[in-house]
Structure 1
């Protein structure tokens, strides 16, 4: 694989660290700014909302910008946001720093996925995307625990200084390793100053029903897993009987599953994209249901937790590849919209899981809710494959009619 992919992975690592490390530092941040932990928690939700906005708005704004230059500009935004967070004297400025950093999140992964796919042969594109997303999974496995430890030992600001440094490293890597004018189909690489199909061309990609079906699968398929994961600490302690002190180590096992699943899913999607996604969504539904049924067993819980990470994140490269494939002439905005769909799925899954808890259905209910949401994603995926088959048959029929016309 091209070394440029690892520069993208470093950027993904820094962005993933920014998103998740705050969870372990909320008590310190809340104490420093003299706000409640609930108010401090808005630094997480504010980030998530900004990701969804930036994924579409910034990607749309950058449709005619050379994609390497766009990535470099987004990393500057990322560095600036984390620098503001590191020095913020007030809660309000801290929130501003979080918003600035979050705006680049969706656009970076959206544009980066297009660039990663263009760096390799067609049959290796999903695997290339998985390497970029590997940075995000490593952030969960190693970055968040060590970032939390650093913040607790040297003050929470030290973690954001470290993330700022990672952003600088990613910027240098992208500047040196990513080829110029990468990710642009020859058909749309226009004269100087025009490096893509433009916003109108990008929006035209959304006329394809398969693009919308792909986005729906992303929302439901990823949302089901994240809804279960959002409340997993309660399941582990209240149902499985683990001590609270063991939860971070169990989450590291889950993160290891994410890493393995991401890379394996990318390779599988390159072989057969549709079948891989449908199979993984059905498997994830089964894993979540079995997890809910066996959560009282500590051994079964550990196995289910790892499998949930492996199978759940194995869908990610394929989900991203599918929307790009069906918006092939102008994939950038569709790719960014799919990153927003991941975050919408996060919010949907957490909301549904929270409803089950509020209804008094117990601490395994988010797992059941996640299984139902994921099953809906599998159904939509099956429908998309049937519709796709009909589209192909229709095109074949029209070609045959033209060839046999007198």
Structure 2
């Protein structure tokens, strides 16, 4: 048996399956780039729209709230529709949301565009990881999950920094326009590279979400993931103004620091994916502890460029593995209900992004940067404690075990 239940498109050739994995990884890369792009261009966005940095940061909260509400419903709403067609439609929706954002003249239209992005993101995340085990052999499922989830870290390395550079050179609207164009290219790629993916009947597919929450590993994993993601995004949403205020870095320097952070995130994604396949609880514990440490020392060491770089290395190595740990915890806890449990975890994950972004904006505007960073560190420490006292998710050994 596999890490997750064995279900795949056996007729496809390995090259075809891995090209499908690649396009799914591109989809997660693009939705995360679209979601997180305001982080890198928050200052010019707020200035262009005539709103505060905290208010501009609330646009991430809008995306997260919508994704949190939509993701758990995706498997039920799409029913028996072919998953390839659903994903192509989600890519087109992503293009529309970024185009609306690019032409926004005020917060209301900005929020509308970000809400559309949230719907697209929820659909991609609710399906992408759940479909992985239908595209590769069971023994490679763990690596395939890491590859698809790597889109999160690669978005930090390439998507957000490149969007930041483009925004600084050509204006923040051009960055969202570029993502809209890329989403249309993604839709075409999905139509060509993904095989037909008819709906599979899952055990308990018609049951309520309450039946999933009745599983202790599912419930306790949700608590740990919610806390650590909330802590991270309360601070990371405002990393640009934090770096500007603490270290005096601006413009291209911000892009380079975010690039360093994202590179560390890629390394952490694959390292944590390999570790979490067998020790998901311990891996998440280490990551939450690292995030807490980075946030504690940022006001102390981030006052110089080298100090800020060191903090971002620790932060990137810590947060980079959280997404893959979350997904692996979900499928290990309820392998017979992959789409349903993935949707539930995506809802919690994106809801935590919204909560963190919102609370971070309130604290930043009301109490200041130091309170924001140290308060977030405290929540990350509680997340580590919650992970420590949680029982491990159910593990299904691989053939090589």
TM-score (norm 2): 0.79
For structure 1, the 5+ residue unaligned runs are 190-195, 390-406
The Cα offsets for residues 99-145 of structure 1, whole Å up to 9 and x where unpaired, read as 22221212211211111244334454343223223223222222233
1:3-152 matches, cutoff 5 A: 3-24=19-40, 36-37=51-52, 43-86=59-102, 92-151=108-167
1:380 maps to 2:386: yes
Counting matched residue pairs gives 377
2:271 to 260, 264, 269: 264
* More moved, 281-290 vs 112-121: 281-290
1:242-281 matches, cutoff 5 A: 242-245=248-251, 246-281=253-288
Q: Which gives a bigger RCO, structure 1 or 2 (Cα 8 Å, sep 6+)?
A: 2
Alpha-carbon offset, residue 198 of structure 1: 3.9
Query: Is the 2:99–2:176 contact (alpha carbons within 8 Å) kept by the matching residues of 1?
Result: yes
Quickly say closer, same or farther: Cα 1:69–1:224, change in 2 above 3 A: same
For structure 2, the 5+ residue unaligned runs are 1-16, 396-401
Quickly say closer, same or farther: Cα 1:243–1:104, change in 2 above 3 A: closer
Alpha-carbon separation, structure 2, partners of 1:25 and 1:173: 28
Alpha-carbon offset, residue 73 of structure 1: 2.7
Other-structure match for 1:322:
329
Instruction: State the superposition RMSD in angstroms.
Output: 3.5
Alpha-carbon separation, structure 2, partners of 1:126 and 1:208: 22
Query: Is the 2:57–2:357 contact (alpha carbons within 8 Å) kept by the matching residues of 1?
Result: no
1:206 maps to 2:206: no
Query: Is the 1:265–1:316 contact (alpha carbons within 8 Å) kept by the matching residues of 2?
Result: no
Quickly say closer, same or farther: Cα 1:168–1:274, change in 2 above 3 A: same
Alpha-carbon offset, residue 25 of structure 1: 5.1
Alpha-carbon separation, structure 2, partners of 1:268 and 1:143: 26
The secondary structure found in structure 1 opposite 2:120 is helix
Query: Is the 2:39–2:239 contact (alpha carbons within 8 Å) kept by the matching residues of 1?
Result: no
Alpha-carbon separation, structure 2, partners of 1:168 and 1:234: 32
Alpha-carbon separation, structure 1, partners of 2:45 and 2:130: 36
* More moved, 54-63 vs 82-91: 82-91
Alpha-carbon offset, residue 252 of structure 1: 2.0
The Cα offsets for residues 322-348 of structure 1, whole Å up to 9 and x where unpaired, read as 112212222213212212222333344
Quickly say closer, same or farther: Cα 1:312–1:43, change in 2 above 3 A: closer
Alpha-carbon separation, structure 2, partners of 1:110 and 1:174: 16
2:316 to 298, 306, 309: 309
Alpha-carbon separation, structure 2, partners of 1:16 and 1:208: 29
Q: Give the structure with the higher percent helix.
A: 1
Alpha-carbon offset, residue 295 of structure 1: 4.0
Query: Is the 2:164–2:255 contact (alpha carbons within 8 Å) kept by the matching residues of 1?
Result: no
* More moved, 285-294 vs 71-80: 285-294
Query: Is the 1:220–1:376 contact (alpha carbons within 8 Å) kept by the matching residues of 2?
Result: yes
